[in-house]
Structures are given as C-alpha cells and as structure tokens.
Amino acid sequence: MASHRRPKQPNRARVSVLTAMAAAAVALTSQAAHADPKPTVKDVKAKVDDLYKQVDKATDKYDGAKDQESKLQKDVGNLQDKVARGQADLNAMRDALGSMATAQYRTGGIDPSVQLFLSADPDTYLDKASTMDQVSSQQADQLRAIQSKQRELAQERLEAQGKMKDLADTRKELGEKKKQVQSKLADANKLLNSLTAQQRAQMQQEDQERANRSSERVALGKGVPASQRAAVAFAAAQTRLGDLYVYGSTGPNTFDCSGLMMWSYAQAGVSLPRTSQAQGTVGPHLSMSQLQIGDLVIMDGGSHVGMWAGNGQVLHAPHTGTVVKYEAVSDMTFDYGVRVG
C-alpha cells in the first residue's frame, strides 16, 4: 500500500533568504535600467561653457575689487605722505615757539602765556590765555597756527585710518572673489576630467576647427574702423592673437577679457576702466547692425567683453584654457556694442 506522506515544508529561514535575494536582484536590475547614462561630450561642453560664463562674472567682480584695492593703496600712500609732511610742519612750528621761549628766558624768563601753551592742552589754550591778557599779537598768530595744524593733522590721520580699513575690507573681498573664480574653474576641470582622453581630444578639435573657420572669415572681411583710435586699438589686439587667457591679467602677454580691451586701447592713448561692466559705460550703446571695427562688444549680461572685428566676428580673450582669438558673435550672447569716445 502506497505511503501518503505530507511533503516536507521548506525551512522558514531559507525562504526569507531566498526572498531577500530575489528582491535585491530586482532592485539591482531596476537601478541598472534607470542609471544615468554617462554624459556625452555635448553635455559636458554645455555645462563647462555655463561654468565659464559664471567664471566671467566672478572674474569681473574680482577685477573690480583688485582695481579698488590699487586705488585705495594709492590713496593710503598719499595720505600717509601728507600726514608725515604735516607732522614735520607742526614740529617746525613748535620748534619756532620753543625758540621764542628760549629767547624770553634769556631776557628775564618765559612769558606766562607761552609757558601756559607748552604745558597745557593747546585746544583750550587760547581761551585761557585771552583771559590772562598776556598774549602778544605775534604770539597769538603762532599759537593759532599751531592749533589749526594740530586739528588738520588729526583729521588727516583719521582719514588715513578710514582708508586703511577700506583697504583691509577690499583685500578680504578680493580673496573671496578669487576663491569663487577658482571654485568655478575647479568644477569645470572636474567635468572635463570626466571625459576620456579621446573625448577631450574631440572637443579640442571641434573648438579648433570653429576658431579656424572664424579666422578665415575675418581675413576675408573688409570693415571700416569706428575711428582712428579704434583702428589702432584693433591692430594692437590682433598682435595678441594666441596669447593665453589668465584671469585678472592686463597684459602684455596674458589677458582676461577686459584686460585685453584695456591694454589694446591704451596703445591708442585711451584709458579704459578695468571691468567689462564699467567698459560698457564709456560710450553710446549700439545695436549689432551699427557696429564698426574696434567697437567694444558687451556680452553675457555685461560679464564679458570683446572687440568687433567685422564680418560677424569678435576678437576676445574667452576664458581659462583658451587664448586670444576670433569667434563668431552668433556663438555668444550679444548685449550691445559700445563706441569708445
């Protein structure tokens, strides 16, 4: 007679383990199916370009802080020289008063009014001396001059202290702006390093081909300079083609965007302000159709500047990792042109 045994029940612990393994396998499969694909060269380039635009904005603020630091340093130096000269003048005036006291002593004792001045607070001296009716006209003039010089010197010292505080604050701000630029550049480099060597070579080749096409178009273009000075500035800028971009640099061998404009126009005897934002205010604003060779081209919300080269091209220093070159304005965000007066 056949035996009818009940089938052996699976161990509960074994079931739990198998269930967990199955769930994990499903989860891994799902994650693999939904994992973000590796970024393409196009994706990385778009992100890097956006970071470089942010670098432009940070660099413009850095340039502004650096320019302010330079001006404040000059102001502080001038004020310190002024204070030193004022102190020398005050010492000479006191020496003259001392000579008067010496002469009076030799002839029978120091005039009480002079003695009072030498031993009391000069700011209250004249009031006290006038009540004594012991100040001669000559002595009163000398004492008033000393009192006035002391007050002037105190004011100059106060102004110098204020400028030195401004300088310290600006240097702190400069350090912060520099960190912002370096942080953005580090992010861009991190993205570029996520590409393979082959992908980076592809990106560089595409950039070079685009730059070559732009250079060829500029060579064929025949534009009219905005002025004689603009012609000289443009010719100067052309001599810097191929020079390396370095943020915060104004030449003669490395440049940032506004530094290149500043240096180029300086060769024509024109002094431009340091930042692209400020350079956008030096003359009337122009539409793209009004641009002539040598006009400034303000881009990317005022954070970038180049020079109009004609035939739809801008000569500029783009960003870190590039050189001074021509580039189609259609590849950038045009704001307005500026004719340098």
Distance CA 74, CA 76 (A): 5
- Classify residue 153 by burial, with Cβ atoms within 10 Å: 0-12, 13-18, 19+: middle
Distance CA 318, CA 162 (A): 38
Distance set, CA 99 to CA 85, 152, 183 (Å)? 21, 23, 65
Give yes or no: 285 in active site.
no
Question: What's the token pair of residue 318?
Answer: 């783009």
Q: Could you say which of 4, 34, 304, 319 is catalytic?
A: 304
Contact 76, 167 (CB under 8 A): yes
The phi-psi region of residue 118 (left if phi > 0; otherwise alpha if psi is between -120 and 50; otherwise beta) is alpha
CB atoms within 10 A of CB 196: 10
Residue with tokens 């089938």: 7
Q: Could you say which of 4, 34, 257, 285 is catalytic?
A: 257
Distance CA 243, CA 248 (A): 14
The residues that bridge with 333 in the sheet, in sequence order, are none
The residues, any chain, with a CB within 8 Å of residue 53's CB and separated by 6 or more, are: 300, 303, 304
Give yes or no: 34 in active site.
no
Give yes or no: 4 in active site.
no
Question: What's the token pair of residue 208?
Answer: 């070079």
Q: Could you say which of 4, 34, 285, 316 is catalytic?
A: 316
CA 15 vs. chain centroid, Å, equals: 67
Q: Which residues are catalytic?
A: 257, 304, 316
